[in-house]
Structure 1
Protein backbone atom coordinates (compact mmCIF):
# COMPACT_ATOMS: atom_id res chain seq x y z
CA UNK A 1 0.00 0.00 0.00
CA UNK A 2 1.50 3.30 -1.08
CA UNK A 3 1.72 6.23 1.29
CA UNK A 4 -0.08 9.37 0.12
CA UNK A 5 2.06 12.35 -0.67
CA UNK A 6 1.23 14.86 2.08
CA UNK A 7 2.84 17.75 0.23
CA UNK A 8 0.55 17.43 -2.79
CA UNK A 9 -2.46 16.79 -0.54
CA UNK A 10 -1.98 20.01 1.41
CA UNK A 11 -1.02 21.93 -1.72
CA UNK A 12 -4.61 21.64 -2.92
CA UNK A 13 -5.73 23.68 0.09
CA UNK A 14 -3.43 26.56 -0.81
CA UNK A 15 -5.92 27.60 -3.49
CA UNK A 16 -8.72 27.75 -0.94
CA UNK A 17 -6.53 29.67 1.50
CA UNK A 18 -5.50 32.08 -1.25
CA UNK A 19 -9.12 32.78 -2.21
CA UNK A 20 -10.03 33.40 1.43
CA UNK A 21 -7.10 35.75 1.93
CA UNK A 22 -7.88 37.67 -1.26
CA UNK A 23 -11.52 37.99 -0.15
CA UNK A 24 -10.55 39.29 3.28
CA UNK A 25 -8.04 41.71 1.73
CA UNK A 26 -10.67 42.98 -0.72
CA UNK A 27 -13.19 43.56 2.07
CA UNK A 28 -10.57 45.28 4.23
CA UNK A 29 -9.54 47.51 1.30
CA UNK A 30 -13.17 48.42 0.59
CA UNK A 31 -13.86 49.33 4.22
CA UNK A 32 -10.56 51.24 4.44
CA UNK A 33 -11.31 53.20 1.25
CA UNK A 34 -14.78 53.98 2.57
CA UNK A 35 -13.34 55.32 5.81
CA UNK A 36 -10.75 57.47 4.02
CA UNK A 37 -13.01 58.87 1.30
CA UNK A 38 -16.24 59.57 3.15
CA UNK A 39 -17.02 63.03 4.44
CA UNK A 40 -17.34 63.26 8.21
CA UNK A 41 -19.20 66.19 9.67
CA UNK A 42 -20.75 64.92 12.90
CA UNK A 43 -23.38 67.14 14.46
CA UNK A 44 -25.56 66.68 17.50
CA UNK A 45 -28.56 65.73 15.34
CA UNK A 46 -26.59 63.18 13.35
CA UNK A 47 -25.37 61.45 16.49
CA UNK A 48 -28.89 61.00 17.91
CA UNK A 49 -30.58 57.62 17.68
CA UNK A 50 -33.07 57.63 14.81
CA UNK A 51 -36.08 55.37 14.61
CA UNK A 52 -39.01 55.99 12.27
CA UNK A 53 -38.66 59.74 12.44
CA UNK A 54 -39.53 59.89 16.13
CA UNK A 55 -37.14 61.66 18.46
CA UNK A 56 -35.93 59.37 21.25
CA UNK A 57 -37.55 60.04 24.59
CA UNK A 58 -36.64 58.35 27.85
CA UNK A 59 -34.25 55.47 28.23
CA UNK A 60 -33.48 52.91 25.56
CA UNK A 61 -34.66 49.84 27.47
CA UNK A 62 -38.06 48.48 26.52
CA UNK A 63 -39.53 45.04 27.00
CA UNK A 64 -41.34 43.28 24.18
CA UNK A 65 -44.11 40.82 24.81
CA UNK A 66 -43.16 37.26 23.92
CA UNK A 67 -46.33 36.94 21.85
CA UNK A 68 -44.71 38.86 19.00
CA UNK A 69 -41.96 36.27 18.74
CA UNK A 70 -44.60 33.58 18.37
CA UNK A 71 -46.12 35.49 15.45
CA UNK A 72 -42.70 35.76 13.86
CA UNK A 73 -42.17 32.03 14.38
CA UNK A 74 -45.52 31.22 12.77
CA UNK A 75 -44.62 33.43 9.82
CA UNK A 76 -41.35 31.56 9.35
CA UNK A 77 -43.16 28.22 9.50
CA UNK A 78 -45.62 29.24 6.79
CA UNK A 79 -42.90 30.88 4.68
CA UNK A 80 -40.98 27.59 4.73
CA UNK A 81 -44.22 25.84 3.84
CA UNK A 82 -44.60 28.09 0.80
CA UNK A 83 -40.98 27.54 -0.20
CA UNK A 84 -41.59 23.80 -0.37
CA UNK A 85 -45.14 23.87 -1.70
CA UNK A 86 -44.75 26.06 -4.79
CA UNK A 87 -41.81 24.20 -6.39
CA UNK A 88 -43.55 20.90 -5.66
CA UNK A 89 -46.71 22.15 -7.37
CA UNK A 90 -44.77 23.14 -10.49
CA UNK A 91 -43.15 19.72 -10.97
CA UNK A 92 -45.98 17.49 -9.75
CA UNK A 93 -47.33 16.85 -13.25
CA UNK A 94 -43.87 15.96 -14.61
CA UNK A 95 -43.22 12.29 -15.43
CA UNK A 96 -41.90 10.29 -12.51
CA UNK A 97 -43.86 12.17 -9.88
CA UNK A 98 -46.95 10.27 -8.95
CA UNK A 99 -48.95 9.19 -5.97
CA UNK A 100 -45.90 8.86 -3.75
CA UNK A 101 -45.09 12.55 -4.01
CA UNK A 102 -48.74 13.42 -3.50
CA UNK A 103 -48.85 11.39 -0.29
CA UNK A 104 -45.54 12.92 0.87
CA UNK A 105 -46.90 16.43 0.33
CA UNK A 106 -50.09 15.63 2.25
CA UNK A 107 -47.96 14.30 5.12
CA UNK A 108 -45.97 17.55 5.06
CA UNK A 109 -49.17 19.62 4.99
CA UNK A 110 -50.51 17.46 7.82
CA UNK A 111 -47.55 18.43 10.00
CA UNK A 112 -48.13 22.08 9.16
CA UNK A 113 -51.86 21.69 9.95
CA UNK A 114 -51.07 20.09 13.32
CA UNK A 115 -48.81 23.04 14.13
CA UNK A 116 -51.51 25.50 13.13
CA UNK A 117 -54.12 23.61 15.15
CA UNK A 118 -51.80 23.64 18.17
CA UNK A 119 -51.26 27.40 17.82
CA UNK A 120 -55.00 27.96 17.45
CA UNK A 121 -55.81 25.83 20.52
CA UNK A 122 -53.24 27.71 22.60
CA UNK A 123 -54.85 31.01 21.62
CA UNK A 124 -51.84 32.33 19.81
CA UNK A 125 -53.83 33.36 16.75
CA UNK A 126 -56.14 35.72 18.66
CA UNK A 127 -55.01 39.29 18.73
CA UNK A 128 -55.90 40.88 22.06
Structure 2
Protein backbone atom coordinates (compact mmCIF):
# COMPACT_ATOMS: atom_id res chain seq x y z
CA UNK A 1 0.00 0.00 0.00
CA UNK A 2 1.17 3.54 -0.80
CA UNK A 3 1.64 6.36 1.65
CA UNK A 4 -1.50 8.04 2.91
CA UNK A 5 -2.00 11.44 1.38
CA UNK A 6 -2.52 14.34 3.75
CA UNK A 7 -1.28 12.63 6.88
CA UNK A 8 2.04 12.42 8.61
CA UNK A 9 5.16 14.55 8.26
CA UNK A 10 4.51 15.74 4.71
CA UNK A 11 1.46 17.75 5.67
CA UNK A 12 3.10 19.15 8.78
CA UNK A 13 6.14 20.34 6.86
CA UNK A 14 3.87 22.20 4.40
CA UNK A 15 2.21 24.00 7.30
CA UNK A 16 5.60 24.71 8.83
CA UNK A 17 6.77 26.38 5.62
CA UNK A 18 3.63 28.53 5.51
CA UNK A 19 4.07 29.48 9.16
CA UNK A 20 7.73 30.42 8.64
CA UNK A 21 6.96 32.56 5.58
CA UNK A 22 4.09 34.26 7.44
CA UNK A 23 6.32 34.94 10.44
CA UNK A 24 9.02 36.43 8.18
CA UNK A 25 6.45 38.66 6.45
CA UNK A 26 4.97 39.91 9.72
CA UNK A 27 8.40 40.55 11.25
CA UNK A 28 9.53 42.45 8.13
CA UNK A 29 6.41 44.60 8.25
CA UNK A 30 6.94 45.32 11.96
CA UNK A 31 10.58 46.18 11.26
CA UNK A 32 9.58 48.68 8.57
CA UNK A 33 7.05 50.37 10.87
CA UNK A 34 9.51 50.55 13.77
CA UNK A 35 12.22 51.94 11.47
CA UNK A 36 9.86 54.60 10.14
CA UNK A 37 8.95 55.76 13.63
CA UNK A 38 12.56 55.64 14.79
CA UNK A 39 13.80 57.78 11.92
CA UNK A 40 11.24 60.52 12.71
CA UNK A 41 11.32 60.80 16.53
CA UNK A 42 9.73 64.27 16.71
CA UNK A 43 6.81 63.49 14.41
CA UNK A 44 6.26 65.23 11.14
CA UNK A 45 4.20 68.37 10.73
CA UNK A 46 1.34 68.77 8.25
CA UNK A 47 3.29 70.14 5.22
CA UNK A 48 5.80 67.30 5.49
CA UNK A 49 3.02 64.77 5.16
CA UNK A 50 2.10 66.04 1.70
CA UNK A 51 2.89 63.12 -0.63
CA UNK A 52 4.24 65.27 -3.46
CA UNK A 53 6.67 68.15 -3.92
CA UNK A 54 8.93 67.13 -1.06
CA UNK A 55 6.75 68.71 1.61
CA UNK A 56 5.93 71.94 -0.23
CA UNK A 57 2.38 73.14 -0.60
CA UNK A 58 0.88 72.09 -3.96
CA UNK A 59 0.25 74.93 -6.43
CA UNK A 60 -2.96 73.41 -7.82
CA UNK A 61 -5.73 71.30 -6.43
CA UNK A 62 -5.48 67.54 -6.88
CA UNK A 63 -8.77 67.45 -8.80
CA UNK A 64 -7.69 70.03 -11.37
CA UNK A 65 -8.45 69.09 -14.96
CA UNK A 66 -5.94 68.18 -17.63
CA UNK A 67 -6.03 69.71 -21.06
CA UNK A 68 -7.87 67.64 -23.67
CA UNK A 69 -4.76 67.36 -25.87
CA UNK A 70 -3.33 64.66 -23.55
CA UNK A 71 -6.16 62.19 -24.14
CA UNK A 72 -5.54 61.33 -27.83
CA UNK A 73 -1.83 60.86 -27.12
CA UNK A 74 -2.78 58.58 -24.23
CA UNK A 75 -5.01 56.49 -26.49
CA UNK A 76 -2.16 56.08 -28.99
CA UNK A 77 0.13 55.03 -26.14
CA UNK A 78 -2.41 52.43 -25.00
CA UNK A 79 -2.65 51.13 -28.59
CA UNK A 80 1.12 50.58 -28.70
CA UNK A 81 1.03 48.94 -25.27
CA UNK A 82 -1.70 46.57 -26.41
CA UNK A 83 0.37 45.70 -29.44
CA UNK A 84 3.33 44.70 -27.29
CA UNK A 85 1.10 42.83 -24.86
CA UNK A 86 -0.14 40.60 -27.70
CA UNK A 87 3.19 40.30 -29.51
CA UNK A 88 5.05 38.46 -26.74
CA UNK A 89 2.61 35.53 -26.35
CA UNK A 90 2.19 35.44 -30.12
CA UNK A 91 5.93 34.88 -30.54
CA UNK A 92 5.64 31.77 -28.37
CA UNK A 93 2.54 30.42 -30.14
CA UNK A 94 3.86 31.24 -33.63
CA UNK A 95 6.17 28.23 -33.66
CA UNK A 96 3.29 25.85 -32.91
CA UNK A 97 0.61 27.48 -35.10
CA UNK A 98 2.67 28.56 -38.11
CA UNK A 99 0.96 30.42 -40.95
CA UNK A 100 -2.37 30.73 -39.10
CA UNK A 101 -0.72 32.74 -36.33
CA UNK A 102 1.10 34.86 -38.91
CA UNK A 103 -2.18 35.75 -40.66
CA UNK A 104 -3.91 36.56 -37.38
CA UNK A 105 -1.08 38.83 -36.28
CA UNK A 106 -1.12 40.48 -39.71
CA UNK A 107 -4.82 41.27 -39.26
CA UNK A 108 -4.19 42.64 -35.78
CA UNK A 109 -1.33 44.86 -36.97
CA UNK A 110 -3.43 46.06 -39.92
CA UNK A 111 -6.23 47.17 -37.60
CA UNK A 112 -3.69 48.83 -35.33
CA UNK A 113 -2.08 50.50 -38.35
CA UNK A 114 -5.44 51.89 -39.48
CA UNK A 115 -5.81 53.40 -36.02
CA UNK A 116 -2.37 54.98 -36.23
CA UNK A 117 -3.10 56.41 -39.70
CA UNK A 118 -6.36 57.84 -38.35
CA UNK A 119 -4.50 59.38 -35.41
CA UNK A 120 -1.96 60.87 -37.83
CA UNK A 121 -4.73 62.40 -39.96
CA UNK A 122 -6.33 63.83 -36.83
CA UNK A 123 -2.94 65.45 -36.05
CA UNK A 124 -2.52 63.63 -32.73
CA UNK A 125 1.25 63.47 -33.18
CA UNK A 126 1.68 67.23 -33.66
CA UNK A 127 2.24 69.04 -30.40
CA UNK A 128 1.00 72.63 -30.12
TM-score by length of 1: 0.57
> What is the rounded CA distance, in whole Å, between the counterparts of 1:108 and 1:84 in structure 2?
9
Pairs aligned (count): 94
> What is the rounded CA distance, in whole Å, between the counterparts of 2:89 and 2:119 in structure 1?
26
> What is the rounded CA distance, in whole Å, between the counterparts of 1:102 and 1:58 in structure 2?
52
Q: In the TM superposition, what is the alpha-carbon distance from 1:126 to its structure 2 partner?
A: 0.9
Check conservation: 2:48, 2:55, Cα contact below 8 A: no
Check conservation: 2:47, 2:56, Cα contact below 8 A: no
* Greater share of helix: 2
Question: Equivalent residue for 1:3?
Answer: none
> What is the rounded CA distance, in whole Å, between the counterparts of 1:81 and 1:90 in structure 2?
15
TM-score by length of 2: 0.57
Question: Equivalent residue for 2:19?
Answer: none
Check conservation: 1:50, 1:56, Cα contact below 8 A: no
SS at match of 1:93: helix
Moved over 3 A (4+): 36-40
Unpaired runs of at least 5, structure 2: 1-25
Unpaired runs of at least 5, structure 1: 1-29
Q: In the TM superposition, what is the alpha-carbon distance from 1:87 to its structure 2 partner?
A: 2.5
> Residue 46 in 1 paired to residue 52 in 2?
no
